[in-house]
Amino acid sequence: MKFSPDARPERWLGSLALAIISLISLGNVITRYVTGGSLAFTEEFSVFLLVVLTFAGASVALRRNGHIRIGLLERALPAAPRRALIVFQGLCGAIVLGLITWFGAKLTWEEYQWESLSPGLGLPQWWYLLWLPLLSAAMLVRLLQQTLDRLRGRLDDEP
């Protein structure tokens, strides 16, 4: 049996975001064609959903070992130093994603406390920002899974 890592919740979320973007964009095009006017909410929602789609897709790519990585040094090293390099790579990624998660959560909480509203529709700004710490935390989990799988030899450097 071949090992096949998966990130099903992120795949579903990304697919749903893409489907909604497509539907509201189509609705906006039809409305503009028929009435000459535009639906006000489509741009704000489309930008928000595109960010969700990007983070969900990045999480799926992490789980499937699909992000770009230069593996020349990694392939040239013997087993023990290669493992140390993989751990170092995982730690660096975890630090970055941990900072994004922490500061994203902090910003979301501040926007909730300040009761900031979005400029276009006047919706609470934290509704949009909440996805940043959630999806960066999901990426952090997927990075941990990927690093462990690479250390166990379950994922190759070259897909």
Q: Is residue 1 part of a domain?
A: no
- Parent domain of 26: 8-152
Q: Is residue 36 part of a domain?
A: yes
Q: Is residue 158 part of a domain?
A: no
The structural domain count of the chain equals 1
Residue-wise pLDDT tens digits, 51-96: 999 999 999 999 988 888 888 888 899 999 999 999 999 999 999 9
pLDDT number for residue 68: 85
Is the confidence at residue 1, as pLDDT, over 60? no
pLDDT number for residue 119: 85
pLDDT number for residue 41: 86
Q: Is residue 2 part of a domain?
A: no
Phi and psi angles of residue 124, each rounded to the nearest 5 degrees, phi first? -60, 130
Q: Is residue 108 part of a domain?
A: yes
Residue-wise pLDDT tens digits, 115-129: 999 988 899 999 999
